[in-house]
Copies of this chain bind each other. A is one copy, B any other.
Protein backbone atom coordinates (compact mmCIF):
# COMPACT_ATOMS: atom_id res chain seq x y z
CA UNK A 1 0.00 0.00 0.00
CA UNK A 2 1.30 3.42 -0.90
CA UNK A 3 1.46 6.20 1.68
CA UNK A 4 1.01 9.83 0.71
CA UNK A 5 2.21 12.62 2.98
CA UNK A 6 0.13 15.69 2.29
CA UNK A 7 0.64 19.13 3.70
CA UNK A 8 -2.25 21.13 2.36
CA UNK A 9 -1.29 24.24 4.28
CA UNK A 10 2.28 24.58 3.05
CA UNK A 11 2.57 27.91 1.22
CA UNK A 12 5.89 26.80 -0.25
CA UNK A 13 3.93 24.18 -2.15
CA UNK A 14 0.74 26.12 -2.70
CA UNK A 15 2.84 28.63 -4.63
CA UNK A 16 4.68 26.00 -6.65
CA UNK A 17 2.59 25.11 -9.70
CA UNK A 18 5.39 22.87 -10.87
CA UNK A 19 5.39 20.68 -7.77
CA UNK A 20 1.59 20.59 -7.76
CA UNK A 21 1.50 19.53 -11.39
CA UNK A 22 4.17 16.88 -10.81
CA UNK A 23 2.13 15.47 -7.99
CA UNK A 24 -1.14 15.57 -9.91
CA UNK A 25 0.48 13.89 -12.89
CA UNK A 26 1.81 11.13 -10.68
CA UNK A 27 -1.41 10.83 -8.70
CA UNK A 28 -3.51 10.46 -11.83
CA UNK A 29 -1.30 7.55 -12.91
CA UNK A 30 -1.85 5.59 -9.72
CA UNK A 31 -4.71 3.24 -9.00
CA UNK A 32 -5.52 4.53 -5.51
CA UNK A 33 -8.85 6.25 -4.93
CA UNK A 34 -8.93 9.90 -5.84
CA UNK A 35 -9.29 12.39 -3.02
CA UNK A 36 -9.66 16.18 -3.28
CA UNK A 37 -6.38 17.95 -2.60
CA UNK A 38 -4.60 21.18 -3.26
CA UNK A 39 -0.98 20.53 -2.54
CA UNK A 40 1.69 18.11 -1.41
CA UNK A 41 4.48 18.60 1.07
CA UNK A 42 7.89 19.44 -0.36
CA UNK A 43 10.27 16.52 -0.63
CA UNK A 44 7.77 13.71 -0.30
CA UNK A 45 7.36 13.02 -4.01
CA UNK A 46 8.86 9.79 -5.27
CA UNK A 47 11.18 10.32 -8.22
CA UNK A 48 9.98 8.04 -10.97
CA UNK A 49 11.16 6.79 -14.25
CA UNK A 50 8.88 6.62 -17.23
CA UNK A 51 10.00 3.04 -17.66
CA UNK A 52 7.81 1.25 -15.16
CA UNK A 53 10.26 -1.61 -14.76
CA UNK A 54 13.03 0.81 -13.84
CA UNK A 55 11.77 2.60 -10.71
CA UNK A 56 14.26 5.08 -9.27
CA UNK A 57 15.10 4.94 -5.58
CA UNK A 58 17.80 6.70 -3.62
CA UNK A 59 17.98 9.60 -1.25
CA UNK A 60 19.50 12.14 -3.63
CA UNK A 61 16.04 13.00 -4.91
CA UNK A 62 16.72 16.44 -6.34
CA UNK A 63 19.96 15.37 -8.03
CA UNK A 64 18.44 12.28 -9.60
CA UNK A 65 15.33 14.29 -10.44
CA UNK A 66 17.47 16.83 -12.27
CA UNK A 67 19.41 14.15 -14.14
CA UNK A 68 16.25 12.37 -15.22
CA UNK A 69 14.44 15.56 -16.23
CA UNK A 70 11.86 15.32 -13.43
CA UNK A 71 13.08 18.24 -11.31
CA UNK A 72 13.83 21.81 -12.24
CA UNK A 73 17.24 23.32 -11.63
CA UNK A 74 15.71 25.50 -8.89
CA UNK A 75 14.77 22.32 -6.98
CA UNK A 76 18.37 21.12 -7.24
CA UNK A 77 19.51 24.53 -5.97
CA UNK A 78 17.08 24.40 -3.01
CA UNK A 79 18.33 20.92 -2.16
CA UNK A 80 21.95 22.13 -2.13
CA UNK A 81 21.02 25.11 0.05
CA UNK A 82 19.22 22.80 2.45
CA UNK A 83 22.34 20.65 2.80
CA UNK A 84 24.51 23.65 3.67
CA UNK A 85 22.33 26.04 5.62
CA UNK A 86 21.86 25.57 9.35
CA UNK A 87 19.13 26.89 11.63
CA UNK A 88 20.18 30.33 12.88
CA UNK A 89 22.33 31.18 9.84
CA UNK A 90 22.38 34.48 8.01
CA UNK A 91 21.64 34.20 4.28
CA UNK A 92 21.00 36.62 1.43
CA UNK A 93 18.47 36.54 -1.41
CA UNK A 94 20.05 38.98 -3.86
CA UNK A 95 17.13 38.87 -6.31
CA UNK A 96 13.86 38.49 -4.39
CA UNK A 97 11.58 38.21 -7.42
CA UNK A 98 8.22 36.90 -6.23
CA UNK A 99 9.65 35.70 -2.91
CA UNK A 100 9.68 31.91 -3.35
CA UNK A 101 13.42 31.56 -2.73
CA UNK A 102 13.12 33.95 0.21
CA UNK A 103 10.39 31.80 1.76
CA UNK A 104 12.44 28.62 1.30
CA UNK A 105 15.49 30.31 2.84
CA UNK A 106 13.48 31.60 5.80
CA UNK A 107 12.28 28.06 6.53
CA UNK A 108 15.89 26.85 6.45
CA UNK A 109 17.26 29.38 8.95
CA UNK A 110 14.26 29.90 11.29
CA UNK A 111 14.67 28.00 14.54
CA UNK A 112 11.96 29.52 16.68
CA UNK A 113 14.44 31.40 18.86
CA UNK A 114 14.61 34.52 16.72
CA UNK A 115 18.13 33.74 15.58
CA UNK A 116 18.73 33.48 11.86
CA UNK A 117 18.36 36.25 9.33
CA UNK A 118 17.47 36.56 5.65
CA UNK A 119 18.50 39.71 3.83
CA UNK A 120 16.51 40.25 0.67
CA UNK A 121 16.79 42.82 -2.09
CA UNK A 122 15.39 43.62 -5.49
CA UNK A 123 15.59 46.64 -7.77
CA UNK A 124 11.84 46.43 -8.59
CA UNK A 125 9.23 47.74 -6.16
CA UNK A 126 6.72 45.11 -7.36
CA UNK A 127 9.17 42.34 -6.44
CA UNK A 128 9.56 43.67 -2.90
CA UNK A 129 5.79 44.02 -2.63
CA UNK A 130 5.16 40.49 -3.93
CA UNK A 131 7.75 39.09 -1.52
CA UNK A 132 6.24 40.95 1.44
CA UNK A 133 2.78 39.72 0.50
CA UNK A 134 3.94 36.11 0.19
CA UNK A 135 5.66 36.29 3.58
CA UNK A 136 2.55 37.84 5.17
CA UNK A 137 0.42 35.01 3.79
CA UNK A 138 2.88 32.27 4.67
CA UNK A 139 4.68 32.86 7.97
CA UNK A 140 3.94 34.38 11.34
CA UNK A 141 5.19 37.73 12.56
CA UNK A 142 8.10 36.26 14.53
CA UNK A 143 9.51 34.73 11.38
CA UNK A 144 8.80 37.80 9.28
CA UNK A 145 10.92 39.80 11.72
CA UNK A 146 13.90 37.69 10.69
CA UNK A 147 13.62 39.11 7.16
CA UNK A 148 15.17 42.40 6.10
CA UNK A 149 13.95 43.60 2.70
CA UNK A 150 15.60 46.37 0.67
CA UNK A 151 14.52 48.10 -2.53
CA UNK A 152 18.02 48.16 -3.95
CA UNK A 153 20.01 46.66 -6.82
CA UNK A 154 21.91 43.44 -5.99
CA UNK A 155 25.12 45.26 -6.90
CA UNK A 156 24.60 47.39 -3.77
CA UNK A 157 24.36 44.53 -1.29
CA UNK A 158 27.39 45.72 0.63
CA UNK A 159 25.52 48.93 1.50
CA UNK A 160 22.69 47.07 3.28
CA UNK A 161 24.43 44.09 4.90
CA UNK A 162 26.46 45.10 7.96
CA UNK A 163 30.20 44.53 7.64
CA UNK A 164 31.51 41.24 9.11
CA UNK A 165 28.09 39.58 9.09
CA UNK A 166 28.84 35.79 8.84
CA UNK A 167 26.90 35.13 5.63
CA UNK A 168 26.44 31.43 4.85
CA UNK A 169 24.64 31.64 1.51
CA UNK A 170 23.93 34.25 -1.16
CA UNK A 171 21.44 33.26 -3.86
CA UNK A 172 20.70 34.83 -7.23
CA UNK A 173 17.90 34.00 -9.62
CA UNK A 174 18.81 36.06 -12.66
CA UNK A 175 16.80 37.23 -15.66
CA UNK A 176 13.40 38.93 -15.40
CA UNK A 177 10.65 38.97 -12.77
CA UNK A 178 8.24 36.09 -13.55
CA UNK A 179 4.87 37.64 -14.32
CA UNK A 180 6.42 41.12 -14.41
CA UNK A 181 7.87 43.37 -17.09
CA UNK A 182 10.10 41.10 -19.19
CA UNK A 183 12.10 44.05 -20.49
CA UNK A 184 13.46 44.68 -16.99
CA UNK A 185 16.25 42.12 -16.64
CA UNK A 186 19.37 41.73 -14.57
CA UNK A 187 22.37 43.10 -16.49
CA UNK A 188 25.86 41.69 -16.90
CA UNK A 189 27.55 44.80 -15.51
CA UNK A 190 25.55 44.98 -12.26
CA UNK A 191 25.53 41.18 -11.89
CA UNK A 192 29.33 41.22 -12.05
CA UNK A 193 29.44 43.95 -9.39
CA UNK A 194 26.99 41.92 -7.28
CA UNK A 195 29.17 38.81 -7.62
CA UNK A 196 32.25 40.76 -6.56
CA UNK A 197 30.37 42.10 -3.52
CA UNK A 198 29.03 38.64 -2.72
CA UNK A 199 32.51 37.15 -2.83
CA UNK A 200 33.67 39.77 -0.29
CA UNK A 201 30.69 39.34 2.03
CA UNK A 202 30.55 35.54 2.00
CA UNK A 203 31.94 33.76 5.05
CA UNK A 204 34.46 30.94 4.71
CA UNK A 205 32.44 27.72 4.28
CA UNK A 206 29.67 29.63 2.52
CA UNK A 207 28.16 29.38 -0.94
CA UNK A 208 27.04 31.68 -3.76
CA UNK A 209 24.26 30.03 -5.80
CA UNK A 210 23.21 31.45 -9.16
CA UNK A 211 20.45 30.22 -11.44
CA UNK A 212 21.24 31.83 -14.78
CA UNK A 213 18.62 31.97 -17.55
CA UNK A 214 19.86 32.17 -21.13
CA UNK A 215 16.62 32.06 -23.13
CA UNK A 216 16.04 35.83 -23.19
CA UNK A 217 18.07 38.53 -24.97
CA UNK A 218 21.17 39.29 -22.89
CA UNK A 219 20.92 36.03 -20.95
CA UNK A 220 23.75 34.29 -22.77
CA UNK A 221 26.06 37.29 -22.24
CA UNK A 222 25.16 37.35 -18.55
CA UNK A 223 26.07 33.64 -18.26
CA UNK A 224 29.41 34.36 -19.93
CA UNK A 225 30.06 37.14 -17.41
CA UNK A 226 29.17 34.84 -14.49
CA UNK A 227 31.32 32.01 -15.89
CA UNK A 228 34.24 34.29 -16.54
CA UNK A 229 34.12 35.52 -12.93
CA UNK A 230 33.58 32.03 -11.49
CA UNK A 231 36.38 30.39 -13.46
CA UNK A 232 38.86 33.11 -12.50
CA UNK A 233 38.58 32.43 -8.76
CA UNK A 234 41.73 30.77 -7.32
CA UNK A 235 41.38 27.07 -6.50
CA UNK A 236 43.16 27.58 -3.17
CA UNK A 237 40.18 29.47 -1.78
CA UNK A 238 37.24 28.64 -4.06
CA UNK A 239 35.44 25.74 -5.72
CA UNK A 240 33.17 26.81 -8.57
CA UNK A 241 30.87 24.30 -10.23
CA UNK A 242 28.50 24.46 -13.16
CA UNK A 243 25.50 22.15 -13.67
CA UNK A 244 23.65 22.32 -16.94
CA UNK A 245 21.32 20.36 -19.21
CA UNK A 246 23.36 20.09 -22.40
CA UNK A 247 20.59 19.20 -24.85
CA UNK A 248 18.37 22.15 -23.87
CA UNK A 249 20.43 25.12 -25.05
CA UNK A 250 17.96 27.63 -23.58
CA UNK A 251 17.69 25.80 -20.24
CA UNK A 252 18.84 27.55 -17.05
CA UNK A 253 22.32 26.88 -15.70
CA UNK A 254 23.23 26.45 -12.03
CA UNK A 255 26.53 28.02 -11.00
CA UNK A 256 27.74 27.30 -7.46
CA UNK A 257 30.67 29.16 -5.93
CA UNK A 258 31.95 27.77 -2.63
CA UNK A 259 34.38 29.69 -0.42
CA UNK A 260 36.75 27.25 1.31
Contacts and interface: CB of A to CB of B under 8 A. Distances in A.
Contacts of A83: 56-60, 63-64
Nearest to A233: B247
Interface in A152-208: 166, 168, 203-207
A43 to B, nearest CB: 10
Interface of A is mostly: mixed
A178 B32 CA distance: 52
A108 B110 CA distance: 39
A248 interface: yes
- Report how many copies the assembly holds: 2
A218 interface: no
A50 B59 CA distance: 25
Contact of A247 (B54, B66, B240, B244): B240
B260 A246 contact: no
A239 B245 CA distance: 7
**Range class of the A interface residue count:** 35 or more
Contacts of A207: 67
B54 A168 contact: yes
A206 B246 contact: no
Nearest to A50: B260
B245 A240 contact: yes
A213 interface: no
Interface string A219-244: 00000000100111111001111111
> Which 10 A-B residue pairings sit nearest by Cβ, starting from the closest?
A58-B83, A51-B205, A54-B205, A69-B239, A49-B205, A51-B204, A231-B246, A240-B246, A240-B247, A64-B83
Given A58-B84, A60-B83, A64-B84, 19 more contacts: A50-B205, A50-B260, A51-B203, A54-B86, A54-B203, A54-B204, A54-B205, A56-B83, A58-B82, A59-B83, A60-B60, A63-B79, A63-B83, A66-B241, A69-B239, A69-B258, A239-B247, A241-B244, A242-B242
29 contacts: A49-B204, A51-B203, A51-B205, A53-B205, A54-B168, A54-B204, A54-B206, A57-B83, A58-B82, A59-B60, A63-B79, A63-B80, A64-B80, A64-B84, A66-B241, A67-B256, A68-B239, A69-B258, A69-B260, A227-B246, A230-B246, A230-B247, A231-B246, A233-B247, A234-B247, A239-B245, A241-B246, A242-B242, A242-B243
